[in-house]
Amino acid sequence: MDKSAKAKEKLIRERTKLLLFRPFFGILALGLEFVPDEKIPSMSVDGTSIFYNPNFVLLRPSTQIRTLIAHEVLHCALGHLWRQGAREQDRWNYATDHAVNLILKKEGFNVPEDCHCNPEFDGMEAERIYTKLKSEKKRLLDSHEKWPGKKSEEKDKRDTKDNSDDGTERSGVKKDQKPPKNVPEKNVDARGNQSKDKLEKKWKEQIAKADAIARMRGKLPGATSELIKSALSPKMNWRDILFDLVLSLAKNDFRLTPPNKKHLWREMYLPSLKGATLEIALAGDESGSISKEQYEMLLAEVKGITEQFDSYTIHFYLCDMQINFQTTLTEFNEWPDKFEKHSGATSFVPVFEAIEEEGFSPTVLIYLTDGDGEYPKYDPGYPVIWILNQEHEVPFGTSIVIGGEE
């Protein structure tokens, strides 16, 4: 028997143990085919198969292999393979491993100490963990290179070298123009894009089936029960909505100021694409309706968004009936942690007036409030996102209600 067959036999044996003692994980693992691949360092998953390096599987203890099978299953069940969006690849990898390993550790699996498993992130989704991550030095438990939509290194190199005669790369971005970091191209890996919807549907069906069987056998772990609820009845997190909205607006932010320098010599003032630089306005309601925790929570999310760009400018305001604090933040500044609650009424007008007086048009204004206050009489002409801590009708812009999970 060759090493690939021996390794596969070991994998099947550990999957059988999952079926006997942890049926939820075992049943889900049955939907994944074991495929040998010596090009990967350990194991990886693409939603339909678990790829394994035979040498890795044969050298590792059986308990660790069992943990890795459950690890791959959870990446699929939690939708990590198709939920990355515009997030940076390595940081998303670390965030998803924290989310998975914390569940596995709760359920008694053998999770190595040198892997991403910070108890501070317990109970958080990968998207939330992503915004809180700083520097990461620990190793990934598995390889994520088989995930749908992940471009190969070879394709990345081809795209970098293969530019057209007019100075435009295949992605449509000029040579001398930087796009926002990690905003995905329209034509990424075709296999990944075509399979994501089908994968999501398949895994929801698989989870429902595994849930039913595990319940009949009385072996459904507590942490996994919560996972099932969120997977079968997903609620769009306000953080994801904010992240996607701002990235979408920034990616399509064409302006006449500054003009495209390439055409100035022809006395043609054409719009330039705001690519590597993000310029937004951020305002907080200090009238007493917003808690310090909600304020800090929004700052954390906006910080996560700014890190997708090479540079950024944030016009920052704290206001009740008047602006009490105002500053401009860039990647070189410390973010303010001061937040004082004031009594009295609320007016959003001073912030809009200040933006007009300063003479800039932000990519978007993000305003944290309960929504109860005096609004400007007219739509300002630029996008406004109201982050509300309660349901409230707004006269213009988009409203996102902070969920009750906090």
131-165 pLDDT tens trace: 888 777 778 889 998 988 654 443 444 344 444 34
In tens, the pLDDT along 20-67 reads: 888 889 989 999 999 999 999 999 999 999 999 999 999 999 999 999
Task: Give residue 94's Cα distance to chain centre.
Answer: 11
What is the average pLDDT value for the chain, to the nearest integer? 79
How far apart are alpha carbons 382 and 41 in whole angstroms? 48
How far apart are alpha carbons 382 and 358 in whole angstroms? 15
pLDDT surpasses 80 at 268:
no
Pair 14, 68: CB distance under 8 Å: no
Q: Shortest CA distance to 299 belongs to which of 309, 290, 287, 289?
A: 290
- pLDDT value at position 151? 47
Average of pLDDT values for 286-303?
86
pTM listed for this prediction: 0.59
Q: How many CA atoms lie within 13 A of 99 on its CB side?
A: 26
- pLDDT value at position 169? 39
- pLDDT value at position 396? 92
Which amino acid is it at 252? N
Coil, strand or helix: which one is 323?
strand
| Domain at 239-401, CATH from 3.40.140, 2.40.30, 3.40.50, 2.60.40 | 3.40.50
Q: Please state the domain extents for the chain.
A: 3-150+189-234, 239-401
In tens, the pLDDT along 159-216 reads: 444 443 444 433 344 444 444 444 444 333 434 444 677 888 888 888 888 877 777 6
**What are the two backbone dihedrals, phi and then psi, of residue 146, each rounded to the nearest 5 degrees?**
-90, 0
Q: Are strands 254-259 and 271-273 parallel, antiparallel or unpaired?
A: antiparallel
- pLDDT value at position 187? 34
Residue 369's pLDDT band, with cuts at 50, 70 and 90, is: very high
- pLDDT value at position 130? 87
CB atoms within 10 A of CB 42: 17
Task: Give residue 234's Cα distance to chain centre.
Answer: 15
Pair 28, 19: CB distance under 8 Å: no
C-alpha to C-alpha distances, 32 to 22, 66, 115, 269, nearest whole angstrom: 16, 14, 24, 56
Q: Which two tokens stand for residue 124?
A: 């958080």
In tens, the pLDDT along 330-365 reads: 988 888 877 777 767 899 999 999 999 999 889 899
How far apart are alpha carbons 75 and 12 in whole angstroms? 19
- pLDDT value at position 100? 93
Q: Shortest CA distance to 352 belongs to which of 329, 330, 373, 331?
A: 373
What is the residue whose two structure tokens read 């939708």?
79
- pLDDT value at position 208? 80
- pLDDT value at position 174? 43
